Amino acid sequence: MSSLPFRTRPARLDHASTTDLRQFLGTILVRRGRVTQVQLATALDEVERTGRRLGDILLGRGWLYESELAQALAEQNGVDYVDIAARSVDRTVAAKLPRDVAEHFRCVPVRTTSSGAMLLAVADPADVDVEVLRILVGTEVEIGVAELSAIRSAWPHCP
């Protein structure tokens, strides 16, 4: 992945700290019955020790499926879950975002929405600077969350 010729900032979220984000994501996963309180506590301890992301730890331990993480991240951030494995990526739309930018933000353009915005599937909304992407593609951008593996599979559609 090449480095981008500009500086980016993460998406603005309405949460006080990354600790709040981890706990909130964990709360969603426990409430949905995807992980137990014990698994969450163990994973949060590992987050504190290693600095790795909660979702990555839960996936790595086999306690969570990638689709479950994507759906919980979508809920956490108030955006839609996008099943890009079931919905084909519009190649014309995907061609509007350079591959190095897509890889940097861990995203892929999926389609044009009814409002004319570009729908971007992202692995984690916290990794995305929507304003920079809006400027790069020259249109409004809406985000949804999808599995990183599905996003990576769609990157060949980006130039």
Give the CA distances from residue 141 to residues 1, 44, 94, 115, 120, in Å, rounded to whole numbers and listed in that order. Answer: 23, 33, 13, 10, 7
pLDDT on residue 2:
46
Q: What is the pTM of this model?
A: 0.82
Name the residue ranges covered by the structural domains of the chain.
18-64, 81-157
| Residue 11 DSSP SS3 | coil
- The third-level CATH classification (topology) of the domain covering 81-157 is GMP Synthetase; Chain A, domain 3 (3.30.300)
Tens-digit pLDDT profile for residues 59-94: 999 999 999 999 999 999 999 999 997 667 898 999
Please give the Cα distance from 12 to 21 (Å, whole number): 12
